[in-house]
Structure 1
Amino acid sequence: MNQVVASMAGSVWKIVVQEGETVSNGQDIVILESMKMEIPIAAEVDGVVKELKVSEGDFVNEGDVIAVIE
């Protein structure tokens, strides 16, 4: 199990994947918006998105868990 975490604080602008979807290392999971910049947050392993912990519009802090990949 691998947790995808926010690299900085910001709002969840767009969720790119769905639960149950197979992802590859480096594939974008969500796009955060911070200070009018879009920051992609990518998977760090190959696997299946087991759980998304955020919704579009949510605010996350640096280190918050965004998704779980198995």
Structure 2
Amino acid sequence: MTTRIEVISEVAGTVWTVALAPGAQVAEGDEILVLESMKMEIPVPAPAPGVVAELLVAPGEAVAEGQVLARIDR
């Protein structure tokens, strides 16, 4: 049985870079993407190991606090 985990933005900002593509294997703590907020780069790590099922944002896109950025299947 697959469990889907959502990767949530903890801050409002802009997607700076996306490090992984859908289908990529991740370990807990691997960097999925980097947000820029108030001139600071904020890495967004995988909350659990698994496979990146969906990336819901792209570089340059504005995101809100609490927005789902990606989904990981375990």
Given the two structures, how large is their TM-score scaled by the length of structure 1? 0.98
Name the residue aligned to 1:22.
Answer: 25
Offset at residue 27 of structure 1 (A): 0.6
Offset at residue 15 of structure 1 (A): 0.2
> Aligned residues, how many?
70
Instruction: Provide runs of 4+ in structure 1 moved above 3 Å.
Output: none
Q: Does 1:4 align with 2:35?
A: no
Offset at residue 59 of structure 1 (A): 0.4
* Residue number among 35, 50, 53 corresponding to 2:53 in the alignment: 50
Give the letter aligned to residue 61 of structure 2: D
Uncovered stretches (5+) of structure 1, i.e. residues with no partner: none
Q: Quick one: distance in 1 between partners of 2:42 and 2:72?
A: 20
Q: Which has the larger radius of gyration?
A: 2
Given the two structures, how large is their TM-score scaled by the length of structure 2? 0.93
Coordinate RMSD, CA, aligned = 0.4
Offset at residue 43 of structure 1 (A): 0.6
